[in-house]
Amino acid sequence: MASTHGGGRRRRIVAATAVTAAGLLLWPGTAHAVDVTTNPTEARQGDAVRLEFTVPEERAGTKTNQIEVRLPADAPIAEVYPMSVNGWAPRISSRTLDKPLAGIHSSGVTTVTTAVTWVRVGASDPGPARLALSMGPMPQAERLTFEVVQTYADGTVVRWADAAGAHRAPALTLLPAAPGAAGRRERRRCGRPAARWWGSCGRWPVPRPRGPGCSRRSSR
């Protein structure tokens, strides 16, 4: 009898564990599509930032061969530079502004980036694509939303552009500028050679070569 009781108890424990596991899998909010994310998620207005986009692979049997990041048109950023990433070559699209912007290395920037498109050109790191832009100064806005267009090798196009849902657009929250930040930026621009400030400041990431097969800006 003791043996039978022990066996029944073990079966009940196993069954309860299976039910608990199934409940966790079905619990609302635990199973969801992976989003395109940014790192960091916050920056300060007027600062420069290295912003990395992580784009998931959602389709089995194929892989992403092109990723386009579209910058917000209503909040242009004076300087945008794609970082070098193994297996990806960036292409920059741009437009001309009616009114110049103050940049980090220039006080009158009239041509700004509208989109950066990375094309797969060889073997890349496994897992989701991690593509980075160095950009600044951050505009006077509370939030920047980026549309991401992901194209798979089989021709499927996924647009990460929704405010909510399965394919939400990645966003960057902008905090108010730190006190005195504008004065410090002006002294840097006027009092130091750009090349020296570029590498020594520590706030503006130094761009590396953009990789094989990359092209210069193209107007849209």
Domain ranges of the chain: 37-174
What class is the 37-174 domain? mainly beta
Strand order in the sheet with 143-145: 42-44, 171-175, 143-145
Look at 45-49, 177-181, 192-196 and tell me which has the smallest mean pLDDT. Answer: 192-196
What's the pLDDT at 101?
95
Q: Name the average pLDDT for the chain.
A: 79
In the prediction, which pLDDT does 149 show? 98
Q: What is the structure's pLDDT at 54?
A: 97
E strands of the chain, at which residues?
37-39, 42-44, 49-55, 64-70, 79-82, 88-101, 109-120, 129-136, 143-145, 147-152, 157-160, 171-175, 215-219
Residue 3: predicted pLDDT: 52
C-beta atoms surrounding 54 within 10 Å: 17
- Say whether pTM exceeds 0.75: no
Q: Which tokens hold the place of 113?
A: 């980036």
Give the C-alpha separation, 133 to 148, whole Å. 13
Task: Give the helix/strand (H/E) hosting 26.
Answer: helix 2-26
**Residues 27-48, mean pLDDT to the nearest whole number:** 77
